């Protein structure tokens, strides 16, 4: 059958099938879970875990990266280097990197700030703003950690081969639905947490500038 009218997911599954049929010893995967449904994503994850060759994968799918990779590479400032950390460490690195890219005030502008009293007042106001944002960031990080634990528990249950027997189809469907909902929640929490960290970094930089 011509593949011209295939959907994106069907084309992706066909491409993965052709790759598996070729039995390569190296896989170069660019966003391999795009257009795949939940069952195919799980199947791909399990297949990559069993793959005996080398895998280089570029993906925004945190679950896939956590489940199938041993090492991370950092691509920044025109260089590629080893990254000593996990995806949570990368999120913190990204916030710090973005804060360092922000333009700093010119020396002439800084020299004009002669009103020390106004600076102290501004610093006090910034400290008051900092506290609730810090609490919010800590709360989001805790919630994100809880979601990660729940996803890990689901992954362990979904790894049970007996679950894929026809008699347990309803149980499998329920677990996949819970996994999908948790992944949506994970993405929302990650976005909110990164935004909270970025706000904290901005306020902290302004506070240090006024100190």
Asked if the structure places residue 81 within a domain, the reply is: no
Asked if the structure places residue 33 within a domain, the reply is: yes
Same domain, 118 and 200: yes
Asked if the structure places residue 105 within a domain, the reply is: no
pLDDT of amino acid 73: 93
Same domain, 127 and 204: yes
Asked if the structure places residue 92 within a domain, the reply is: no
pLDDT of amino acid 111: 46
Same domain, 190 and 122: yes
pLDDT of amino acid 52: 86
The span from the CA of 75 to the CA of 65, in Å, is 16
Same domain, 190 and 120: yes
Q: What is the total count of domains within the chain?
A: 2
pLDDT of amino acid 130: 73
Same domain, 118 and 176: yes
pLDDT of amino acid 81: 93
pLDDT of amino acid 6: 79
Q: Whole-model pTM above 0.95?
A: no
Low-confidence ranges of the chain (pLDDT < 50): 106, 109-111, 113
Task: With beta carbons less than 8 A apart as the criterion, state whether 87 and 73 touch.
Answer: no
Give the domain extent around 195.
Answer: 112-211
């Amino acid at each position: 059958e011509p593949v011209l009218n295939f959907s994106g997911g069907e084309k992706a599954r066909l491409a993965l099938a052709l790759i598996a049929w070729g039995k390569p010893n190296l896989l170069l995967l660019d966003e391999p879970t795009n257009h795949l449904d939940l069952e195919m994503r799980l199947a791909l994850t399990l297949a990559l875990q069993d793959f005996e060759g080398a895998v280089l994968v570029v993906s925004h799918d945190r679950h896939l990266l956590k489940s199938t990779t041993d090492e991370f590479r950092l691509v920044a400032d025109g260089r590629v280097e080893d990254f000593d950390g996990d995806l949570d460490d990368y999120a913190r690195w990204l916030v710090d990197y973005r804060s360092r890219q922000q333009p700093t005030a010119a020396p002439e502008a800084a020299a004009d700030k002669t009103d020390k009293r106004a600076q102290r007042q501004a610093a006090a106001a910034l400290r008051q703003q900092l506290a609730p944002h810090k609490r919010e960031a800590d709360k989001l990080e805790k919630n994100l950690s809880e979601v990660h634990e729940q996803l890990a528990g689901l992954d362990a249950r979904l790894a049970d081969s007996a679950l894929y027997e026809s008699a347990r189809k309803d149980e499998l469907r329920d677990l996949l639905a819970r996994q999908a909902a948790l992944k949506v929640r994970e993405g929302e929490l990650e976005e909110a947490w990164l935004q909270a960290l970025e706000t904290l970094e901005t306020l902290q930089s302004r506070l240090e500038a006024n100190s």
